[in-house]
């Protein structure tokens, strides 16, 4: 279920249930493969986690580093019981990439490199705090394992600086506008460029998703493309 918490937004450009289910059988095979040997899916380091304050200060300066650290500490202000989940991203190996792309509709193949297949695994915590994408604008996401986690999207209420490499917001200057509980086995348009977070992880359970990532088009463009080509299944 996708719910808008305010009236003056188009919720579809945040999260949209496409109605598409291609690749569900491949997703089941991926879970079996993960359970046998996760190492066949190489880790994807698509962003700098900036976990060394000294190195960060040398890179972006002491002032910006202090601001990023302040923003990180805000998480406990808004979610006092927050425990950061263990979050990893992985590339598809050639076998699963070729299989998934073979059943992906041609109209979604916007460039020779897009969409790009990827895998995300989350566990051992209760929150993925608000953040936004580093490179991808939007994606199609299918949950393979989940327990009704809630994804939230936010919009700014005041201006603040976007500081790389940690693309995290000033939590005092954003408000939640979307609540989404996505169902496994369905493709959802997912806006990576807007602030978003994930909540309500179940202790001891994994959240696993596969995705088709887009870098050269924004969510509005992808949404129009999807709506044009999926009218018959909605």
pLDDT(11) > 90: yes
pLDDT of the residue at 50:
58
pLDDT mean over 211-234? 90
Residues 173-198 have pLDDT tens digits of 999 999 999 999 999 999 999 999 99
pLDDT range class, residue 138, cuts 50, 70, 90? very high
pLDDT of the residue at 135:
84
Token output for 67: 């601001």
pLDDT of the residue at 231:
77
Residues 213-222 have pLDDT tens digits of 999 999 999 9
pLDDT mean over 92-115? 96
Residue that the structure tokens 């990532």 belong to: 213
Overall pTM > 0.85: yes
pLDDT range class, residue 54, cuts 50, 70, 90? confident
pLDDT of the residue at 166:
82
Domains and CATH numbers, the chain: 2-233 (2.60.120)
pLDDT range class, residue 55, cuts 50, 70, 90? confident
pLDDT(165) > 70: yes
For residue 218, give every residue at least 6 positions away whose Cβ sits within 8 Å of its Cβ, in sequence order, or none: 137, 138, 193
pLDDT of the residue at 104:
97
Nearest to 151 by CA among 91, 204, 194, 215: 194
Answer yes or no: are the C-beta atoms of 198 and 127 closer than 8 Å: yes
Q: Is 28 helix (H, G, I), strand (E, B) or coil?
A: helix
For residue 144, give every residue at least 6 positions away whose Cβ sits within 8 Å of its Cβ, in sequence order, or none: 27, 28, 30, 31, 184, 208, 209, 210
């Amino acid at each position: 279920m996708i719910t808008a918490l305010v009236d003056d937004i188009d919720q579809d450009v945040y999260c949209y249930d496409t109605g598409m289910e291609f690749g569900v059988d491949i997703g089941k095979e991926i879970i079996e493969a993960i359970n046998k040997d996760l190492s066949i899916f190489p880790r994807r380091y698509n962003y700098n986690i900036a976990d060394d304050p000294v190195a960060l200060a040398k890179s972006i300066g002491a002032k910006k580093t202090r601001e990023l650290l302040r923003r990180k500490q805000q998480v406990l202000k808004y979610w006092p019981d927050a425990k950061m989940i263990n979050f990893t991203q992985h590339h598809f190996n050639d076998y699963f990439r070729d299989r998934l792309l073979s059943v992906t509709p041609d109209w979604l193949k916007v460039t020779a490199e897009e969409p790009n297949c990827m895998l995300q695994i989350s566990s051992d915590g209760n929150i993925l705090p608000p953040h936004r994408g580093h490179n991808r604008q939007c994606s199609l996401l299918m949950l393979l394992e989940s327990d009704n986690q809630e994804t939230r999207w936010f919009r700014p209420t005041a201006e603040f600086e976007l500081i790389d490499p940690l693309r995290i917001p000033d939590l005092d200057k954003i408000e939640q506008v979307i609540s989404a509980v996505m169902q496994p086995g369905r493709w959802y348009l997912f806006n990576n460029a807007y602030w978003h977070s994930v909540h309500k992880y179940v202790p001891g359970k994994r959240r696993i998703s596969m995705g088709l990532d887009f870098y050269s088009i924004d969510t509005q463009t992808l949404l129009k493309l999807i709506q044009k080509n999926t009218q018959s299944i909605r």
